[in-house]
Amino acid sequence: MIQAVIFGIGTDIVRTGRIRSAVERWGEKFLHRVFTKDEIAYAYQRKNPFLSLSVRFAAKEAMIKAIGKRIPVDLTDIEIVNNEEGSPSINPRGKLKQYFDHQNIQQTHVSLSHEDDYSIAFVVIEK
C-alpha cells in the first residue's frame, strides 16, 4: 500500500481592504493579472466581491508557500474553484499543472476563511 506524503504546506492572511484598494487603483489590469476570469465572475456574483477576491488571493499565496522555491508560477496558474457543495479546491493550470504532473502530486487540500477585514487560507499538497 502506497501512502501519501505531505509535499508542502502553506498559509497566508490578507487584509480585505488591500485587495479592494488594488482593484480600485488598477482595476481590470490588476484583476486579470491575479485572477482567472471564472474567479472574477464568481467573486462579483457575491454580496461582497472583495471578501471572495481576498480569500482567493490568500489561497494563491498559500499555494506559492507550499511549493516553496521549486518553481515560479503565475498567480493565474493557481485557480481556486468551488465544488457543488461549495467546498474550495485548487485547479492547477499552466506551469503549475505541468509541475504537479511531473512531481506526481496526488492531491491538494485548501481551507479558506474570511471575516470583514481579513481572509486566511491554508494549503496542503500531497505526493
DSSP-derived pairing of the beta strands 78-82 and 88-92: antiparallel
Task: Identify the domain containing residue 36 by its residue range.
Answer: 6-126
- Of the candidates 95, 89, 103, the residue with the CA atom closest to the CA atom of residue 75: 95
Strands (DSSP E) contained in the chain are: 6-15, 78-82, 88-92, 107-114, 118-126
pLDDT at 1 over 80: no
Whether residue 79 lies inside any domain: the answer is yes
Confidence of residue 84 (pLDDT cuts 50, 70, 90): confident
Residue 17 vs residues 25, 42, 69, 103, 106: alpha-carbon distances, Å? 12, 19, 28, 36, 35
HSE at residue 5, side-chain half, CA atoms within 13 A, is 6
Range in 61-65, 67-71, 94-98, 99-103 the model is least confident about: 67-71
Whether 102 is catalytic: no
26 Cα distance to chain centroid? 20
- Decide if 114 is catalytic: yes
Q: How many CA atoms lie within 13 A of 22 on its CB side?
A: 17
- Give the CATH number of the domain where residue 121 resides: 3.90.470.20
Interval 42-59: pLDDT, tens: 999 999 999 999 999 999
Please indicate, yes or no, if residue 1 is contained in any of the structural domains. Answer: no
Exactly one of 60, 65, 102, 127 is catalytic; name it.
Answer: 65
Let me know: does 4 contact 127? Beta carbons within 8 Å: yes
Tell me if 20 is assigned to some domain. yes
For the chain, the domain total comes to 1
The active-site residue, picked from 29, 102, 114, 127, is 114
